[in-house]
Amino acid sequence: MVKLFSFGIVMFEIGSWFIEQFWGIITGIIISLLVYFIVNFLPFGEDVRYKAIFYRRKISKLILNPTIRVSYTVKTKNLEDKKLNPNDLLSMIKKKLTGIKNSNFIYIGEKGNASIFSCTLGKTEVEIILTPSYAVKQNDEEELLVDYLQCDFKIKECKYRNFDGHLLDLIQIFRKLEVNIEDVVGKWVGESLTCDIRRLYEFVGVLKNLKMSSLKGKIDGRYEIELYENKLVIYGSLETAMTSMIKDIITYYY
Protein backbone atom coordinates (compact mmCIF):
# COMPACT_ATOMS: atom_id res chain seq x y z
CA MET A 1 0.00 0.00 0.00
CA VAL A 2 2.86 2.36 0.91
CA LYS A 3 4.67 1.53 -2.34
CA LEU A 4 1.50 2.21 -4.31
CA PHE A 5 1.08 5.55 -2.54
CA SER A 6 4.74 6.51 -3.24
CA PHE A 7 4.32 5.54 -6.90
CA GLY A 8 1.22 7.74 -7.09
CA ILE A 9 3.15 10.72 -5.70
CA VAL A 10 5.96 10.22 -8.23
CA MET A 11 3.50 9.99 -11.13
CA PHE A 12 1.71 13.11 -9.89
CA GLU A 13 5.02 15.05 -9.79
CA ILE A 14 5.93 13.86 -13.30
CA GLY A 15 2.48 14.85 -14.57
CA SER A 16 2.76 18.27 -12.92
CA TRP A 17 6.17 18.81 -14.56
CA PHE A 18 4.80 17.95 -18.03
CA ILE A 19 1.81 20.25 -17.53
CA GLU A 20 4.12 23.08 -16.45
CA GLN A 21 6.36 22.61 -19.51
CA PHE A 22 3.37 22.30 -21.85
CA TRP A 23 1.77 25.45 -20.43
CA GLY A 24 5.08 27.33 -20.81
CA ILE A 25 5.27 26.37 -24.49
CA ILE A 26 1.61 27.29 -25.15
CA THR A 27 2.07 30.64 -23.36
CA GLY A 28 5.19 31.35 -25.42
CA ILE A 29 3.35 30.59 -28.68
CA ILE A 30 0.38 32.81 -27.76
CA ILE A 31 2.67 35.71 -26.79
CA SER A 32 4.72 35.29 -30.00
CA LEU A 33 1.57 35.38 -32.16
CA LEU A 34 0.26 38.43 -30.30
CA VAL A 35 3.55 40.30 -30.70
CA TYR A 36 3.75 39.30 -34.38
CA PHE A 37 0.30 40.79 -34.96
CA ILE A 38 1.19 44.02 -33.10
CA VAL A 39 4.51 44.46 -34.91
CA ASN A 40 3.27 43.71 -38.42
CA PHE A 41 -0.31 44.97 -38.57
CA LEU A 42 -0.74 47.84 -36.09
CA PRO A 43 0.53 51.37 -36.95
CA PHE A 44 3.16 51.67 -34.20
CA GLY A 45 6.52 53.45 -34.47
CA GLU A 46 9.88 51.73 -34.73
CA ASP A 47 10.63 52.12 -31.01
CA VAL A 48 7.44 50.29 -30.06
CA ARG A 49 8.17 47.60 -32.65
CA TYR A 50 11.69 47.13 -31.25
CA LYS A 51 10.39 46.85 -27.68
CA ALA A 52 7.71 44.38 -28.73
CA ILE A 53 10.28 42.15 -30.45
CA PHE A 54 12.73 42.55 -27.56
CA TYR A 55 10.23 41.47 -24.90
CA ARG A 56 8.92 38.62 -27.02
CA ARG A 57 12.46 37.26 -27.29
CA LYS A 58 13.10 37.93 -23.62
CA ILE A 59 10.03 35.92 -22.59
CA SER A 60 11.04 33.13 -24.98
CA LYS A 61 14.52 32.96 -23.43
CA LEU A 62 13.14 33.07 -19.89
CA ILE A 63 11.00 30.04 -20.75
CA LEU A 64 13.69 28.07 -22.62
CA ASN A 65 16.55 29.29 -20.36
CA PRO A 66 19.40 28.51 -22.81
CA THR A 67 22.97 27.84 -21.71
CA ILE A 68 25.54 30.60 -22.32
CA ARG A 69 29.20 29.55 -22.25
CA VAL A 70 31.02 32.47 -20.65
CA SER A 71 34.79 32.97 -20.53
CA TYR A 72 36.80 36.02 -19.50
CA THR A 73 40.45 36.38 -20.55
CA VAL A 74 43.07 38.76 -19.16
CA LYS A 75 46.77 39.11 -19.84
CA THR A 76 49.61 40.81 -17.96
CA LYS A 77 51.99 43.41 -19.26
CA ASN A 78 55.45 42.18 -20.27
CA LEU A 79 57.11 40.47 -17.29
CA GLU A 80 60.60 39.91 -18.70
CA ASP A 81 62.16 42.48 -16.35
CA LYS A 82 61.00 40.39 -13.35
CA LYS A 83 63.15 37.46 -14.56
CA LEU A 84 60.70 34.80 -13.37
CA ASN A 85 60.96 31.10 -14.15
CA PRO A 86 57.52 29.71 -15.23
CA ASN A 87 57.45 27.05 -12.51
CA ASP A 88 58.56 29.51 -9.84
CA LEU A 89 55.88 32.01 -10.89
CA LEU A 90 53.06 29.46 -10.79
CA SER A 91 54.32 28.16 -7.45
CA MET A 92 54.25 31.68 -5.99
CA ILE A 93 50.71 32.28 -7.28
CA LYS A 94 49.51 28.94 -5.92
CA LYS A 95 50.94 29.77 -2.49
CA LYS A 96 49.29 33.20 -2.46
CA LEU A 97 45.84 32.07 -3.63
CA THR A 98 45.52 28.94 -1.49
CA GLY A 99 47.21 30.44 1.56
CA ILE A 100 44.58 33.13 2.08
CA LYS A 101 41.97 32.40 4.73
CA ASN A 102 38.44 32.09 3.29
CA SER A 103 39.72 32.92 -0.21
CA ASN A 104 37.66 30.11 -1.89
CA PHE A 105 40.52 29.48 -4.34
CA ILE A 106 41.12 25.73 -4.68
CA TYR A 107 44.11 24.31 -6.55
CA ILE A 108 42.96 21.63 -9.02
CA GLY A 109 46.21 20.64 -10.75
CA GLU A 110 48.32 21.19 -13.84
CA LYS A 111 47.60 20.71 -17.51
CA GLY A 112 50.57 21.18 -19.81
CA ASN A 113 52.29 24.34 -18.61
CA ALA A 114 49.09 25.76 -17.07
CA SER A 115 47.91 25.73 -13.45
CA ILE A 116 44.19 25.25 -12.84
CA PHE A 117 42.19 26.56 -9.89
CA SER A 118 38.51 26.77 -9.06
CA CYS A 119 36.61 29.37 -7.09
CA THR A 120 32.96 29.37 -6.05
CA LEU A 121 31.00 32.48 -5.11
CA GLY A 122 27.31 32.07 -4.35
CA LYS A 123 25.88 29.81 -7.08
CA THR A 124 28.70 30.60 -9.51
CA GLU A 125 31.55 28.11 -9.94
CA VAL A 126 34.48 29.38 -12.00
CA GLU A 127 37.43 27.46 -13.44
CA ILE A 128 40.61 29.58 -13.51
CA ILE A 129 43.43 28.66 -15.91
CA LEU A 130 46.79 30.43 -15.51
CA THR A 131 49.09 29.95 -18.51
CA PRO A 132 52.55 31.57 -18.71
CA SER A 133 54.25 32.19 -22.03
CA TYR A 134 58.01 32.34 -21.91
CA ALA A 135 61.12 33.12 -23.89
CA VAL A 136 64.41 31.23 -23.91
CA LYS A 137 67.34 33.39 -22.84
CA GLN A 138 70.79 32.17 -23.79
CA ASN A 139 73.73 33.42 -21.77
CA ASP A 140 76.13 30.79 -20.55
CA GLU A 141 73.20 28.36 -20.51
CA GLU A 142 69.57 28.30 -21.59
CA GLU A 143 67.09 29.85 -19.18
CA LEU A 144 63.28 30.02 -19.38
CA LEU A 145 61.87 33.40 -18.38
CA VAL A 146 58.20 34.38 -18.31
CA ASP A 147 57.29 37.22 -20.66
CA TYR A 148 53.48 37.14 -20.22
CA LEU A 149 50.87 35.44 -18.06
CA GLN A 150 47.36 34.77 -19.37
CA CYS A 151 44.42 34.00 -17.12
CA ASP A 152 41.15 32.48 -18.36
CA PHE A 153 38.02 32.46 -16.19
CA LYS A 154 35.33 30.00 -17.30
CA ILE A 155 31.92 29.80 -15.63
CA LYS A 156 31.09 26.10 -15.22
CA GLU A 157 27.35 26.51 -15.86
CA CYS A 158 25.64 29.74 -16.87
CA LYS A 159 21.94 29.90 -17.79
CA TYR A 160 20.14 32.88 -19.32
CA ARG A 161 17.89 33.60 -16.33
CA ASN A 162 20.84 33.99 -13.93
CA PHE A 163 23.29 35.50 -16.44
CA ASP A 164 23.54 38.87 -14.63
CA GLY A 165 24.25 37.27 -11.27
CA HIS A 166 26.87 34.89 -12.67
CA LEU A 167 28.65 37.76 -14.41
CA LEU A 168 28.69 39.89 -11.25
CA ASP A 169 30.15 36.94 -9.31
CA LEU A 170 32.78 36.47 -12.03
CA ILE A 171 33.81 40.12 -11.70
CA GLN A 172 34.21 39.75 -7.92
CA ILE A 173 36.32 36.59 -8.32
CA PHE A 174 38.58 38.33 -10.84
CA ARG A 175 39.02 41.39 -8.59
CA LYS A 176 39.89 39.13 -5.65
CA LEU A 177 42.53 37.28 -7.69
CA GLU A 178 43.85 40.56 -9.07
CA VAL A 179 44.40 42.03 -5.60
CA ASN A 180 45.99 38.87 -4.18
CA ILE A 181 48.69 38.44 -6.85
CA GLU A 182 49.20 42.05 -7.97
CA ASP A 183 52.59 42.26 -6.23
CA VAL A 184 53.76 39.28 -8.31
CA VAL A 185 52.44 40.02 -11.81
CA GLY A 186 51.37 43.68 -11.70
CA LYS A 187 48.33 45.02 -13.55
CA TRP A 188 46.30 43.10 -16.10
CA VAL A 189 45.66 44.33 -19.65
CA GLY A 190 44.07 42.97 -22.81
CA GLU A 191 40.77 41.97 -21.23
CA SER A 192 38.02 40.27 -23.26
CA LEU A 193 34.68 38.59 -22.51
CA THR A 194 33.33 35.82 -24.76
CA CYS A 195 29.74 34.53 -24.68
CA ASP A 196 29.11 31.46 -26.82
CA ILE A 197 25.47 30.85 -27.68
CA ARG A 198 23.37 29.77 -30.64
CA ARG A 199 23.12 31.61 -33.94
CA LEU A 200 22.26 35.28 -34.42
CA TYR A 201 18.62 36.18 -35.04
CA GLU A 202 19.01 39.09 -37.43
CA PHE A 203 22.34 38.73 -39.25
CA VAL A 204 22.64 35.07 -40.07
CA GLY A 205 21.28 35.43 -43.63
CA VAL A 206 23.31 38.55 -44.43
CA LEU A 207 26.51 37.06 -43.03
CA LYS A 208 25.99 33.91 -45.07
CA ASN A 209 25.22 35.70 -48.35
CA LEU A 210 28.11 38.17 -48.03
CA LYS A 211 30.46 35.52 -46.61
CA MET A 212 31.22 37.75 -43.63
CA SER A 213 32.62 36.17 -40.48
CA SER A 214 31.68 38.93 -38.02
CA LEU A 215 30.37 42.44 -37.46
CA LYS A 216 32.52 44.82 -35.43
CA GLY A 217 31.83 48.14 -33.71
CA LYS A 218 32.35 50.29 -30.60
CA ILE A 219 30.18 50.99 -27.56
CA ASP A 220 30.47 54.46 -26.00
CA GLY A 221 33.90 54.76 -27.60
CA ARG A 222 35.26 52.49 -24.84
CA TYR A 223 34.47 48.90 -25.71
CA GLU A 224 35.03 47.04 -28.95
CA ILE A 225 32.35 44.49 -29.74
CA GLU A 226 32.29 41.69 -32.31
CA LEU A 227 29.15 39.76 -33.25
CA TYR A 228 29.87 36.33 -34.70
CA GLU A 229 27.35 33.79 -35.95
CA ASN A 230 27.42 31.90 -32.66
CA LYS A 231 29.20 34.11 -30.15
CA LEU A 232 29.64 37.62 -28.81
CA VAL A 233 33.06 39.08 -27.89
CA ILE A 234 33.57 42.32 -25.97
CA TYR A 235 37.06 43.80 -25.56
CA GLY A 236 37.64 46.00 -22.52
CA SER A 237 37.64 46.00 -18.75
CA LEU A 238 34.70 44.05 -17.34
CA GLU A 239 32.53 46.26 -15.13
CA THR A 240 29.28 45.71 -13.22
CA ALA A 241 27.48 48.31 -15.36
CA MET A 242 28.08 46.14 -18.45
CA THR A 243 26.11 43.10 -17.29
CA SER A 244 22.62 44.34 -18.23
CA MET A 245 23.90 45.71 -21.56
CA ILE A 246 25.46 42.36 -22.50
CA LYS A 247 22.30 40.49 -21.52
CA ASP A 248 20.18 42.86 -23.66
CA ILE A 249 22.42 42.20 -26.68
CA ILE A 250 22.11 38.44 -26.16
CA THR A 251 18.35 38.77 -25.67
CA TYR A 252 17.72 40.62 -28.93
CA TYR A 253 20.29 39.23 -31.36
CA TYR A 254 20.81 35.62 -30.26
216 and 103 in a single domain? The answer is yes
Task: Give the mean pLDDT of 57-64.
Answer: 85
Residue 205 pLDDT level (bands cut at 50, 70, 90) = low
Give the integer Cα–Cα distance in Å for 115 and 129. 6
154 and 86 in a single domain? The answer is yes
101 and 219 in a single domain? The answer is yes
The predicted pLDDT at position 106 comes to: 92
60 and 85 in a single domain? The answer is no
Q: How far is CA 188 from CA 15, 75, 179, 182, 236, in A?
A: 52, 5, 11, 9, 11
97 and 54 in a single domain? The answer is no
pLDDT tens for 19-46 read 666 666 676 666 666 666 655 655 555 5
What is the number of alpha carbons within 13 Å of residue 101 lying toward its C-beta? 0
Q: Is the separation of the CB atoms in 193 and 246 below 8 Å?
A: yes
Mean pLDDT (the chain) is 81
Give the integer Cα–Cα distance in Å for 97 and 100. 6
Give the residue among 160, 91, 169, 82 at the shortest CA–CA distance from 124.
169
170 and 88 in a single domain? The answer is yes
The predicted pLDDT at position 9 comes to: 58
The predicted pLDDT at position 2 comes to: 46
pLDDT tens for 233-248 read 999 888 888 888 899 9
What residues contact residue 208 under an 8 Å CB cut-off, 6+ apart? Answer: none
The predicted pLDDT at position 43 comes to: 52
Looking at the 3D structure of the chain, how many domains does it have?
A: 2
Task: Give the mean pLDDT of 102-129.
Answer: 91
What is the number of alpha carbons within 13 Å of residue 193 lying toward its C-beta? 23
127 and 34 in a single domain? The answer is no
Residue 100 has pLDDT above 80, yes or no: no
pLDDT tens for 142-157 read 677 888 899 999 999 9
The predicted pLDDT at position 15 comes to: 61
Give me the domain span that covers residue 80: 69-253
166 and 237 in a single domain? The answer is yes
The predicted pLDDT at position 59 comes to: 84
54 and 117 in a single domain? The answer is no
Helix (H, G, I), strand (E, B) or coil at 65: coil
6 and 77 in a single domain? The answer is no
